[in-house]
Chain A
């Protein structure tokens, strides 16, 4: 029996490896090829011829097919596909399609979901990358300018002017009497008499100061709760407008009736066909009395006088009030003269 040399076997091995045969199959196939070659050599063929034939039989395509078949067969689980295709032609496309179906579905799902999410996120992303100022956005432009802070000069209060010492008050020496031996007693330091204390205070020394004529009267004890503070009207101030304006008693309606009753259209004005408004200014006193009435704008022909007369004729008004206190209010009243 003829044998292949190790070199030949290495050649075969390299050839198979170059054809992309997996490690799982390689040693076995090598043995197979070697056996085949040895068989043919034994039959009498020449070495070159044998190698050439084998190479043509075992071309890379066949090996590739073998590899993929091998892989498929080993990876095959007993799935529905395998049952369906058990004795059928698996090389026809349907089997491959079915086998890879789940993978395709998975891939398609991921891609689909990815595109879907991208579609939704794209506007948001775009907005984030290019923030557009909106019309109704409120923008403040603030300019900063350097500010120099000067230490504030402190105005110290002027030193208190020392008040001149009060004029010495006339005092008479009056010390509490001490019990001393007779020889130490000074005759000049006798206690003061009542006459001496009449206009002076008892003190350490006898000082010829101002005589005290006033005497402090102790405060009489306050009994009761004290006086109730009455809100007194302010008589001096005259407001042009008060919180509560003065008012004709009974309002504008009563005022209208009053005018109708008392106002006469002057004959001269009626003859001249004069009409219009006379403005009378007057002060409503705190008691509501009408004072210092005068015409500030008139129309003449006796109308002004007539208006003034009627105003002075008016009864007391309801006084205007400021913070609840009745005040004097200067008031302007238009009185209309109108021909019918």
Chain B
């Protein structure tokens, strides 16, 4: 997949992706999230730091995430965890996205056999 188009789809689903990952792993930091996404999609989807950090901060502002900072190797590392509200949001968002993908799949897959459908109506 071309990177540009991938980004376009990612932009809409980024929140869902982040929330979902945190729901699975519990406690993560920024770079870890990008690495996880890269590994699990085999490099198909690459989260750029430019897109990821604003979204993380936004979610934190909304009260979906909690943060804690730890000193690691002479630098501060910020860990994110879901709040109860965030967990709730993660569930609904994931469900929504699945339904949406299902719909898209239906939309993109070739129609079963339009001729027969029409034939039965005629017959």
Chain A contact residues, CB within 8 Å of chain B: 3-4, 6, 9, 24-25, 27-32, 34-36, 39, 58, 62, 65-66, 69-70, 73-74, 76, 87
Supply 5 further A-B pairs (C-beta < 8 A) apart from A31-B30, A70-B54, A76-B58: A27-B75, A27-B78, A28-B76, A31-B78, A66-B50
B55 at the interface (CB under 8 A from A): yes
Q: Which one, B50, B54, B55, B78, contacts A62 given CB within 8 A? A: B50
A-B pair count, CB < 8 Å, reads 62
Residues of chain A contacted by B74 (CB below 8 angstroms): 6, 9
Interface of A is mostly: helix
A29-B49 contact given A9-B74, A9-B75, A73-B55, CB 8 Å threshold: yes
A73-B78 contact given A32-B30, A87-B12, CB 8 Å threshold: no
B61/A31 in contact, CB under 8 A: no
A34-B57 contact given A28-B30, A65-B50, A66-B50, CB 8 Å threshold: no
Please, how many residues of chain B have a CB less than 8 angstroms from a CB on the other chain? Answer: 22
Highest count of chain A CB atoms <10 Å: which of B57, B69, B75, B76? B75
Chain B contact residues, CB within 8 Å of chain A: 12, 29-31, 34-35, 49-50, 53-55, 57-58, 61, 69, 72-78
Query: A37: shortest Cβ distance to chain B, in Å?
Result: 11
Who on chain A is nearest to B69 by CB? A27
Q: Which one, A29, A36, A87, contacts B53 given CB within 8 A? A: A29
Query: B76: shortest Cβ distance to chain A, in Å?
Result: 4
Who on chain A is nearest to B76 by CB? A27
Residues of chain B contacted by A27 (CB below 8 angstroms): 69, 75-76, 78
Highest count of chain B CB atoms <10 Å: which of A25, A35, A65? A35
B29/A24 in contact, CB under 8 A: no
